[in-house]
Amino acid sequence: MENSFIIDKLYKAFDQDILKMDTSSDVLSFIIASPVVHDVISFLKNDENMNFNFLTDLCGIHYPDRGLPLGVVYHLHNLTENKRIRIKTFVTMNEPKVSTVTDLFSSANWMERETFDFYGIIFEGHPNLKRILNVEYMDFFPLRKEYPLEDPTREDKDDRYFGR
């Protein structure tokens, strides 16, 4: 399966919703508008010519300097053709909502829960969206880049030993 075949099929079906495409790495990548990401993944899975029927990974990302800082990355695999594809979608901090893909891939259940737990992305339609690794009463999302890497008030650290 050639990249050009996948690109043509996706652009014919979702032309206005494909925000960006990248062929520079070893994995064909698309950035998709968040309202239709479920439809795109469903198309990739159920179209008989595409057949991306294995969800390898689903994870969150946070780029605080972008207009849409929170994102979800999906890695899909066509096992018969040994072809991989990456789908990304981005949302705002005020409305961190993406449609669940648990109806397409049951393996997405815990991956979406983990992404919710660490990034606060809400997967609409998820059957049991609650924290999976952190405590339930935690009121922040630890993998967001909202906090400094170091405590600026520490007095016990001498910067001379850290090459600063």
Secondary structure string (H, E, C) spanning 7-59: HHHHHHHHHHHEEEEECCCCCEEEEECHHHHHHHHHHHHHCCCCCCCEEEEEE
Question: What is the CB neighbour count within 10 angstroms for residue 3?
Answer: 13
Q: Provide φ and ψ at 72, rounded to 5°.
A: -125, 135
What is the average pLDDT value for the chain, to the nearest integer? 93
More confident residue, 16 or 1: 16
The DSSP output letter for 95 is S
pLDDT of residue 164: 60
pLDDT of residue 156: 76
3-100: which CATH architecture?
A: 2-Layer Sandwich (3.30)
Domain boundaries, the chain: 3-100
pLDDT class for 163, splitting at 50, 70, 90?
low
* Helix/strand/coil for 64: coil
pLDDT tens profile 1-15? 899 999 999 999 999
